[in-house]
Structure 1
Amino acid sequence: MSSPLFWGGNLPETFVPDPLLTHRSERVEWRVLDLDEIQRGTLDGVGDASLDWSVHNTIRTGGELAYTGEPVDWLQTRLKPVRVLTLHDGSEQDYPLGVYLPETPATSYGVARSQSVALYDKLSILNADAVLETFSAAKGAPVVDVVRDLVASSGANPADVIIEETSEVLPSQLVWEAGTSVLRIVNDLLAAVNFFSLWCDVHGKYRASPYVRPADRPEAFEFVDNKWSILSPGMEHEEDFFKVPNRVLCIASTDGEAPALTSTVTNEDPSDPLSFPSRGRWVTHVEENVEATSQEVLDGIAERRMTELSNVTSTFQVSFAFVPVNLNSRIRVRRQTRGIDATCVIQKMSIDLKTGGLIQATVREVRD
């Protein structure tokens, strides 16, 4: 069945081939993996299905599907939905959408046997695991090594753990109580070196990398309301700038042997309506007991918080035909007939997995 919705989008050839913006047909395959993530077949009998991704969720990606097929041993199964596009020249391109653990569902027996299956990405493995006694990371410990060891302790294949290197070490011992989830400890450690939180990519690999300002990320996609548009005509925009700070103060935690590090970031740009010169007053956001491995890292965290707090109040709700973008991707939305030209980052996506189904996204406008 052909995808019916092409409202436009100028897609750079360096990111996705131009044929994606021409006539195409598509289908979704549910590939069945074993616990070693070796494909064992495909899942037949899937009805309505969707995925929900959000940077605000502890387990960042998940979803649900309706299933009426043959009985499945869900505890021994992982699912990998793949959007397969057939382009106008007859070639096919696969776009995986993650690897998911299915929750053992209840079964309904009516006219037909049916199950509603919840899906959780592999962060759920770390979230379900917990340290059995007080866990400490020693002063001077390389943060990335501790993170890798923790993820591996929950059963991950080391080849599936892709953490970018950093020379940062812990300036003091960090301690977590017994019962703390492995995912919480991992993300606390990553925050201490100003990394993005741990996430799972579309192939089910665990990934973490240093935080990059939205303005410095490559543009993943440009949506334009022209003849090639894949952006739905309807959209919503919400703005609320009253509580946006123009000064951020971060105070690092300390072991008591030395004064706490501090970092202050201010907005004094006279061309910015939210700056101190424009408002004539300071609006200060303070964060205490920030875990940071060095002054440089603390400065980066303070700048990151200023960026996040400055951007959170301008958001768009948009819908578009499928293209392979991800959470935290930087995109550009140009609605020329409405005078809108906004650089944004993707915060949430709801992905309808029926043929031709749209992605509904919440995107946050970026203010440099």
Structure 2
Amino acid sequence: MSYSGARRPRWRYMLLDATDVPLRAIDGVSGGSCEVAATTRLGGSASLTIDERGQEIDWMSHRVQIIYDPGIRGIDAWPIATMMFTSPKTKSTSTRPVHEVALLSKMAIIDEDSVAQRFSLAAGTPIIPTVVSLIQSTGETRIAVTDSDATLSNPMVWDAAESKLTIINDLLAAAGYWSLWCDGGGQYRVESYIAPADRAVAFTFEAGDVAIHASGWDREQDLSSVPNRYVVVGSGSDSAPALSAEAVNENPDSPFSIQNRGGRVITRSETGVEGSLQVLQALAERRLRDAMSPVAKLSVSHAIVPLNPNDVVDFRPRGHSARATIQRMSYGLTFDGQCSAEWREI
């Protein structure tokens, strides 16, 4: 599918009820911004400026879906984000009132709910069904789940008033899953973690006649703090010592490996992790890869295409070639708006 060439783009805004059922289009949106990110706990935020036209928006329960239509024949519009209204501020003008409204990701629903009492799970508890149950306990039911037979190797306990999002993400880490996230259509995603090198390329940005990225882009490197060893220590008990696993960079082709740093070992560690030895080993390898990923950060502006945080892209401008994961995408909600993206090279 080609996204190059002429466009007649427009933004659309759909009002949803508290269960994400579409109600009607929202007219009178005169501006705003939106950001989705893999690097923040809630995954993004947005703001809208809405001219009062009798839209009858319930700021407490209604939601809004921000939709982008590229105006290209044969390509359907797609949702960028599904958000909740918060902190509306109304200004009077000479013509009609104007609402300036901040928007929160639906992840806030899970984060702002908490357990009322000390929450404990026994060893052997199925992890993914427990995660789904916790999400549903907040009233949310739109969940896409990758099933797993993973169970807890040891008991886990959280104090009263702990955020359900914290509990869910702790459990997902124990299963070797991504942290919980919400896609543009407003569906919660419970998915197995896939290493960047094993993910399919979602989009290729090329130079030339098909280019949809700006010619100016930045690449920043942080070479001094990259570890070449990562240690993950599990949760022990009175009867069994804690398991541990390590990942070591001994790749002769890597400039950050132990041998290419003259034998210098730079270690990062993480303790109190729940999971089997296999889970700990996979997490150590993942953490080492992730700790190395800030080595090269790319800042690129491009035409808007349907991508998600953590997607892998190929970037082939003149004079450079890289594969990267998407960390952040920011949008100005104007007809000529571009995506300002932050990527990390793999």
Same fold (TM over 0.5): yes
- Paired with 1:353 and 1:194, the residues of 2 have a C-alpha distance of 36
- Paired with 1:116 and 1:354, the residues of 2 have a C-alpha distance of 16
How far off is 1:285 after superposition? 2.2
8 Å Cα contact 2:234/2:275 also seen in 1 = no
Match of 1:306 among 288, 299, 317: 288
SS at match of 1:24: coil
Of stretches 65-74 and 282-291 in structure 1, the one that deviates more from structure 2 is: 282-291
Match of 1:150 among 126, 130, 134: 134
Q: Report the counterpart of residue 70 of structure 2 in structure 1.
A: 85
Distance 1:227 1:92, change over 3 A: closer
Q: Report the counterpart of residue 357 of structure 1 in structure 2.
A: 337
Match of 2:86 among 79, 103, 111: 103
Q: Report the counterpart of residue 234 of structure 2 in structure 1.
A: 252
Q: Report the counterpart of residue 43 of structure 1 in structure 2.
A: 26
Distance 1:288 1:329, change over 3 A: closer
Distance 1:283 1:116, change over 3 A: farther
8 Å Cα contact 2:9/2:69 also seen in 1 = yes
How far off is 1:282 after superposition? 3.1
- Paired with 1:281 and 1:207, the residues of 2 have a C-alpha distance of 42
Deviations 1:224-277 (A, max 9, x none): 121111001111111111111111111112123212111111111222211111
Of stretches 266-275 and 212-221 in structure 1, the one that deviates more from structure 2 is: 266-275
Q: Report the counterpart of residue 269 of structure 1 in structure 2.
A: 251
How far off is 1:163 after superposition? 2.1
Equivalent position amino acid for 1:85 in 2: P
- Paired with 2:72 and 2:168, the residues of 1 have a C-alpha distance of 41
How far off is 1:292 after superposition? 3.1
How far off is 1:327 after superposition? 0.2
Match of 2:6 among 9, 20, 23: 23
Q: Report the counterpart of residue 45 of structure 2 in structure 1.
A: 62
8 Å Cα contact 1:249/1:284 also seen in 2 = no
* Structure-2-length-normalised TM-score: 0.95
8 Å Cα contact 1:133/1:178 also seen in 2 = yes
Equivalent position amino acid for 1:32 in 2: L
How far off is 1:293 after superposition? 1.8
SS at match of 2:309: coil
- Paired with 1:350 and 1:181, the residues of 2 have a C-alpha distance of 27
SS at match of 2:48: strand
- Paired with 2:253 and 2:217, the residues of 1 have a C-alpha distance of 28
Q: Which runs of 5+ in 2 are unaligned?
A: none
Deviations 1:269-301 (A, max 9, x none): 222211111111233323242423211111110
Of stretches 173-182 and 95-104 in structure 1, the one that deviates more from structure 2 is: 95-104
**1:1-368 alignment runs, 5 A limit:** 17-18=1-2, 20-70=3-53, 72-88=57-73, 91=74, 93-111=76-94, 112-157=96-141, 160-336=142-318, 339-366=319-346
8 Å Cα contact 1:220/1:330 also seen in 2 = yes
Over the aligned positions, Cα root-mean-square deviation in angstroms equals 1.4
Deviations 1:2-51 (A, max 9, x none): xxxxxxxxxxxxxxx22x22322111110111112221111111111211
- Paired with 1:330 and 1:176, the residues of 2 have a C-alpha distance of 34
How far off is 1:92 after superposition? 5.4
Equivalent position amino acid for 1:62 in 2: S
Equivalent position amino acid for 1:61 in 2: G
- Paired with 1:332 and 1:182, the residues of 2 have a C-alpha distance of 36
Q: How many residue pairs end up in the alignment? A: 343
How far off is 1:56 after superposition? 1.9
* Structure-1-length-normalised TM-score: 0.90
Deviations 1:169-220 (A, max 9, x none): 1111111111111111111111111211101112111112111111110001
Deviations 1:117-138 (A, max 9, x none): 1111211111111111111122
- Paired with 1:224 and 1:52, the residues of 2 have a C-alpha distance of 24
Distance 1:281 1:332, change over 3 A: same
SS at match of 1:315: strand
Equivalent position amino acid for 1:79 in 2: V
- Paired with 1:364 and 1:174, the residues of 2 have a C-alpha distance of 33
SS at match of 2:88: coil
Q: Report the counterpart of residue 13 of structure 1 in structure 2.
A: none
Q: Which runs of 5+ in 1 are unaligned?
A: 1-16
- Paired with 1:225 and 1:208, the residues of 2 have a C-alpha distance of 35
- Paired with 2:342 and 2:238, the residues of 1 have a C-alpha distance of 42
Identity across matched positions, percent: 31
